Amino acid sequence: MPQSLQKICIVGAGAIGGWIGTKIAATGVHEVSALARGETLAALQQHGWRLNTAAGLVQAPLYKASSDAASLGMQDLVVIAVKSQALPSLAPQIAPLIGKHTLILPAMNGVPWWFYPSLQSVDPSGQIAKALPADQVLGCVVHASTSTSEPGLVQHKMGEKLIVGEPDSSKFLGGQSERSKAVCDLLKQAGFEVTHSTNIRQAIWYKLWGNMTMNPISAITGANVDKVLADPLTRAFISSVMLEAKAIGARIGCPIDESPEDRHAVTSRLGAFKTSMLQDVEAGRSIELDALVTSVKEIGEKVGIATPNIDALLGLTRVFAQVRKLY
């Protein structure tokens, strides 16, 4: 446990990483660096952290930015905000940022590498587990909609919620640790709506329960979520996928009390928004299908639950993305 969380590095300063980095840097309390590359790195070095909000542009000083982790040095907190499919090759490069007291906070979609033993779909070579010490990782769930209008400039659309907790809360009295509390306090100070969770695995699975369907179906169809849910056949298929994922969750200690229709009602209230996977398809970027769907199929196989609807969703999305060289 670090004495303070002074030195912070954002790995992947895109839509989510840039949003988190800007808000923390804007407090003026921390040295917020970025591990980035290409046009994003150049934009950060020229302009610092930038975030467009409903209240206007937030601009904050950048402590350091580099494509070389060694030049940034060991950090107190490393926030990983890259797409899940990039992490296996990137994880070994992050190693110079991590000392024996560094906390690691993955702010990423889908099932993380630490969630279930030996998940080939998200950590096929075991590189992530080797490079990022499990006992220094905190779980995190992001509930926000952001995008990048240009490299280094983030547009915040809605949501400020971050859920943070210990991957194994049973090790701590009350399910919360001093180190996770320190991270929550830091994020609250930066203006986020923070929940200090006593069951972060449940929070991860609950978010996945919604976006493992909406993301790929919106990517395939090109439709915003309101249109996806408005079609009764698509809505029924989504519900079938969710029932399979709900059964898997119950088997692995992440039960969900709601029905698919309950969750559809929550999603409908968010309006006509564009999912992150659809944004990636439109921008010609690879999609994080494995962390969102393949991982669920893999866990289902491990616990003996058949997933015919999840399989259909995975197969259709995989072929769609392969044809476009996005997977």
Domain ranges of the chain: 7-198, 202-322
Nearest to 82 by CA among 125, 45, 132, 134: 132
Sign for the CA dihedral angle at 153, 158, 164, 168 comes to negative
For residue 144, the model assigns a pLDDT of: 94
Q: Give me the chain's average pLDDT, please.
A: 96
Tell me whether the CATH fold assigned to 7-198 matches the one assigned to 202-322. Answer: no
Q: What is the pLDDT of residue 6?
A: 96
pLDDT tens-digit series, residues 211-224: 999 999 999 999 99
CB-based contacts of 216, cutoff 8 Å, min separation 6: 277, 287, 289, 292, 293, 313, 314, 316, 317
List, for residues 254-277, the tens digit of each pLDDT value: 999 999 999 999 999 988 889 999
Give the predicted TM-score (pTM) of the model.
0.95
Residue with tokens 């978010």: 207
Identity of the amino acid at 147 = S
CA distances from residue 123 to 108, 223, 233, 264, 290 in whole angstroms, order as listed: 14, 30, 34, 31, 10
For residues 218 and 155, give the distance between their C-alpha atoms in angstroms, rounded to a whole number.
21
For the stretch 105-122, pLDDT in tens is 999 999 999 999 999 999
Topology (CATH) of 202-322: N-(1-d-carboxylethyl)-l-norvaline Dehydrogenase; domain 2 (1.10.1040)
Q: Is the pLDDT of residue 2 over 60?
A: no
Q: What pLDDT score does 116 carry?
A: 95
d(CA 92, CA 131): 5
At residue 45, what is the residue type?
Q
Q: What class does CATH assign to 7-198? A: alpha beta
Would you state the pLDDT for residue 173?
87
Mean pLDDT to the nearest integer, 275-291: 95
Q: Supply the pLDDT for residue 271.
A: 85
Catalytic status, residue 207: yes
Residue with tokens 């809505």, as numbered in its chain: 235
Among the listed residues 64, 207, 274, 302, the single catalytic one is 207
pLDDT band per the 50, 70, 90 thresholds, residue 4: confident
Give the pLDDT of residue 227: 97
Residue 1 has pLDDT above 70, yes or no: no
